[in-house]
Amino acid sequence: MEKKVLILCPHPEERGGVADYYRLVGKYFRSDRVHIDFYHTGKRNAGSGAQNRLSKFSRDFLSLRKILGSCDLVVLNPSLDPRAVIRDGIYHLLAKRIYGKRTLVFFHGWDLDFERKIGRYAKWLFKFFFNFDRCLVLASQFKNTLLGWGYPPESITVETTIYEERVDSCKKDYNRVVFLSRFEQNKGCLEAIKAVEILSKQYHNIKLFMVGDGTLTAGLKDYVSRHALDNHVIFTGWLRGDEKYRLVNNCGIMLYPTSYGEGMPISLLEGMGMGLVVVTRPVAGIRDIIADGENGFLVESTAPEEFAERLKYILANEAVRQIVSRNSKRDAELRFEIRNVTKRLEQIYLETGQ
């Protein structure tokens, strides 16, 4: 008999890693033992105001009361941030304590400041709302936090985000560097631009493609204009699908000087899967997937000068580029490619739904 799994997640047309994750799960998940249905929560068509969000939440809550009874397992997908924890905590309370359903909670994002507040003031309240049967996190660091809050080790699993492999027939151009993320504080946007600014004095053909948008867009464009970097830094806007794939696949290096409390950014997995040489920082889940000098490069500092030096090293050493690129692509295919991840998910859903 098939296990019926209800997954609460954003609509696949929304921007963001969770929407992309379940868009691919919906496309590739095939099982004779598990049937999955999606219920799209969140802000789609709800507007941006607090009243609109509350109205959407109320409609979701009432709808879930009608459909929870028919499933064996409920999968929730919050980030560890105040708004998501409150919203999904109430959904979890409804599924677990009122309907008695088995639950799996997958934390895709992690706010370290909020983690500290929970650890100091509200561990008991967090555990009351999230008394899950199983939890997936994107970094061993996050697992250790939950263990410290008293969750049993067997209930916490470190999982990964995903990417979709495509046929790669392009020769990489290592003078083409890509930054792929939201343009927000601590994502390393300006640091990436400054690193390429330093390189441009020696490597006149170097180009940085800034793929994305966000609250920092205007300030970043102003910096590029004031420092006469228009020939070296290109803003593409938000790209999806084939358009994004074609641009990234023609680059040779992915630069991501983040100091954000990352889970496991899909953009890095996409870069690895295309054989790019990834240069980033060892924060959260990134330290679990990148081994410095083997399948990418990790820079401890956030200083643009440090990233520029690492990029110079890559550009000057073809043999190193080839080895790291090959290792990166191999590791991504084995661990993060969607067809392999859905096999793991099927087993996780079966085990948790029993």
CATH at residue 24: 3.40.50.2000
Q: In what order do the strands lie in the sheet with 173-180?
A: 233-237, 207-211, 173-180, 251-256, 277-280, 297-298
Residue partners of 62: CB distance under 8 A and separation at least 6: none
Could you tell me if 232 and 112 lie in one domain? no
Instruction: Note the maximum CA span of the chain.
Output: 65
* pLDDT of res. 169: 60
Handedness of CA 128, 22, 79, 144 (dihedral sign): positive
Is residue 277 included in any domain, yes or no? yes
Could you tell me if 94 and 144 lie in one domain? yes
Stretches in the chain below the pLDDT threshold 50: 46
Could you tell me if 95 and 184 lie in one domain? no
Could you tell me if 308 and 191 lie in one domain? yes
Number of domains in the chain: 2
Is residue 272 included in any domain, yes or no? yes
Is residue 141 included in any domain, yes or no? yes
Could you tell me if 327 and 237 lie in one domain? yes
Could you tell me if 275 and 208 lie in one domain? yes
**Is the Cβ–Cβ distance between 337 and 162 less than 8 Å?**
yes
Could you tell me if 77 and 180 lie in one domain? no
Write the DSSP symbol of residue 153.
G
How many CB atoms sit inside 10 A of residue 63's CB? Answer: 12
Long-range pairs for 296-300: beta carbons < 8 A, 24 or more residues apart: 296/272, 296/324, 296/328, 297/324, 299/257
* pLDDT of res. 146: 97
Could you tell me if 256 and 122 lie in one domain? no
The residue behind tokens 């690193």 is 195
Could you tell me if 190 and 301 lie in one domain? yes
Is residue 190 included in any domain, yes or no? yes
Name the residue range of residue 136's domain: 3-162+337-352
Could you tell me if 186 and 312 lie in one domain? yes
Could you tell me if 341 and 302 lie in one domain? no
Check residue 186 and give left, alpha or beta (phi > 0: left; psi -120 to 50: alpha): left
Q: How far apart are CA 280 and CA 303, in angstroms?
A: 12
Is residue 63 included in any domain, yes or no? yes
**Is the Cβ–Cβ distance between 194 and 257 less than 8 Å?**
no
Is residue 7 included in any domain, yes or no? yes
Write the DSSP symbol of residue 81.
S
Could you tell me if 188 and 299 lie in one domain? yes
Is residue 168 included in any domain, yes or no? no
* pLDDT of res. 47: 52
* pLDDT of res. 195: 97
Is residue 128 included in any domain, yes or no? yes
Is 276 strand, coil or helix?
A: coil
Q: Which CA distances in Å does 254 have to 17, 63, 117, 285?
A: 18, 42, 34, 17
